[in-house]
């Protein structure tokens, strides 16, 4: 199937219905393998067993930023190409991004307390991720405030592109400012600084989280297309009744 | 598996992550059920989309 065919919402719905069962199976399989690897992973020589929090905290953090990146690409699709599926994709990704950001913040706090002696510090990394979470809530509020999906989509797209400035701030905050948070140890120029016995379960869990996002995003996009169809049908019904 | 002196924080982190995933999965599943039901009700009332109209039908 040519990629352009996916631009048609009906074709997209057909593809989503076919792909969702397979994606669900792949997600569950990846989590099963990941949890098995976590159970057998060794403790860190400094952090002890608390290093196990890394296997959910880091993938959640990657997806927190990844969801906003997806929303930014969708925002370009909305504003530049006015693609019908672009704001559907952006709207469907926002609550997922908020959920992964909340997960990142909560697991980070629970990791910080035994390692740093505090749940929270107002440093560059933690504060910029909190700002990301608040921006997700802002986008969600915008979608709920403006009734017309087309207008809401354009407003959310502008806010999303403005908010994308925060992504490099989050990434480089540990290099730019003094912070309790450790610097990048996986996605860095010199290669990962983590031993393979901890890196392997981390990457498998990252794959599982990515598959979870793809599954939920596809399902949420399907729901949003159906919601817009229902809205169009209700408008049509009201027009017929008025004639 | 021995989680050591910080078991509360490790179990708490995994519990919170599982809870968030469960809420999001539940929300998406419930939303799908709600939209499917609303669509079926509209179709049962004979409401169609513009693209569903037979070609040549009056507007």
Crossing angle between the packed helical segments A54-76 and A166-176, to the nearest 10 degrees? 140
A25-28 own/partner pairs: CB under 8 Å, 24+ apart: A26/A211, A27/A208, A27/A211, A27/A212, A27/A214, A27/A215
Of A154, A103, A208, nearest in space to B12 by CA: A103
Q: Best mutation site among A30, A42, A84, A107 for testing chain B: the one with the most B CBs within 10 Å?
A: A107
- Taking only the tens place, the pLDDT of each residue in A160-204 is 999 999 999 999 988 888 777 877 777 766 777 788 888 999 999
The answer to whether residue A138 sits within a structural domain is yes
B11 touches chain A (CB under 8 A): no
> How far away is chain A from the Cα of B35, in angstroms, using its nearest Cα?
6
Alpha helices per DSSP H over A123-165: 124-145, 149-163
Domains identified in chain A, total number: 1
Among B13, B24, B45, select the one facing A53 at the smallest CB separation: B13
Confidence (pLDDT) at A243: 75
Low-confidence ranges of chain B (pLDDT < 70): 50-59
The answer to whether residue A14 sits within a structural domain is no
Handedness of CA B47, A7, A90, A102 (dihedral sign): positive
Q: What chain B residue is nearest to A51 in terms of C-alpha separation?
A: B10
The answer to whether residue A20 sits within a structural domain is no
Token pair of A155, please? 């407003």
Contacts of B59 in chain A (CB under 8 A): none
The answer to whether residue A219 sits within a structural domain is yes
Secondary structure of residue A44 in the 3-state scheme: strand
Cα–Cα distance, A179 to A169 (Å, whole number):
13
Confidence (pLDDT) at B59: 39
Confidence (pLDDT) at B51: 64
The answer to whether residue A15 sits within a structural domain is no
Q: Which residues in chain B (26-55) have CB-CB distances under 8 A to chain A? A: 27-29, 31-32, 35-36, 38-39, 42, 45, 47-50
Alpha helices per DSSP H over chain B: 7-44
The answer to whether residue A17 sits within a structural domain is no
The answer to whether residue A42 sits within a structural domain is no
> How far away is chain A from the Cα of B34, in angstroms, using its nearest Cα?
9
> How far away is chain B from the Cα of A21, in angstroms, using its nearest Cα?
13
Cα-based angle A41, A46, A51 (whole degrees, multiple of 5) = 40
ipTM, 2 dp: 0.90
Confidence (pLDDT) at B53: 56
Q: Are A53 and B13 in contact (CB under 8 A)?
A: yes
- Taking only the tens place, the pLDDT of each residue in A214-237 is 999 999 999 999 999 999 889 888
Percent of chain A clearing pLDDT 70 (strictly above): 96
Mean pLDDT of chain A, nearest integer: 91
Crossing angle between the packed helical segments A86-116 and B7-44, to the nearest 10 degrees? 160
The answer to whether residue A136 sits within a structural domain is yes
- Structural domain span for residue A93: 54-178+196-242
Confidence (pLDDT) at A48: 86
Confidence (pLDDT) at A81: 87
> How far away is chain A from the Cα of B28, in angstroms, using its nearest Cα?
6
A20 touches chain B (CB under 8 A): no
């Amino acid at each position: 199937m040519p990629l352009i065919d996916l631009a048609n919402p009906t074709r997209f719905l057909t593809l989503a219905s076919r792909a969702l069962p397979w994606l669900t199976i792949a997600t569950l399989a990846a989590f099963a393998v990941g949890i098995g690897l976590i159970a057998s992973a060794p403790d860190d020589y400094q952090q002890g067993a608390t290093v196990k929090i890394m296997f959910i905290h880091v993938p959640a953090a990657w997806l927190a930023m990844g969801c906003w990146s997806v929303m930014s690409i969708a925002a370009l699709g909305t504003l530049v190409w006015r693609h019908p599926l672009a704001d559907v994709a952006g709207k469907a990704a926002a609550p997922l991004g908020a959920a992964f950001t909340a997960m990142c913040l909560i697991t980070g706090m629970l990791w910080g307390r035994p390692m740093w002696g505090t749940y929270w510090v107002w440093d560059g990394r933690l504060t910029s991720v909190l700002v990301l979470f608040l921006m997700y809530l802002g986008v969600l509020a915008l979608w709920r405030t403006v009734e017309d999906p087309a207008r809401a989509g354009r407003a959310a797209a502008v806010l999303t592109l403005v908010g994308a400035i925060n992504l490099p701030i989050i990434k480089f905050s540990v290099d730019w400012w003094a912070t309790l948070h450790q610097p990048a140890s996986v996605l860095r120029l010199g290669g990962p600084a983590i031993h393979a016995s901890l890196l392997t379960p981390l990457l498998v869990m990252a794959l599982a989280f990515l598959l979870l996002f793809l599954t939920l995003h596809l399902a949420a996009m399907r729901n949003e297309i159906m919601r817009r169809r229902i809205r169009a049908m209700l408008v049509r019904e009201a027009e017929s009744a008025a004639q | 598996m021995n989680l050591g002196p910080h078991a509360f924080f490790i179990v708490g982190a995994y519990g919170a992550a599982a809870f968030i995933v469960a809420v999001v999965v539940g929300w998406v599943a419930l939303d799908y059920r709600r939209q499917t039901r609303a669509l079926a009700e509209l179709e049962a009332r004979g409401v169609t989309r513009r693209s569903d109209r037979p070609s040549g039908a009056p507007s």
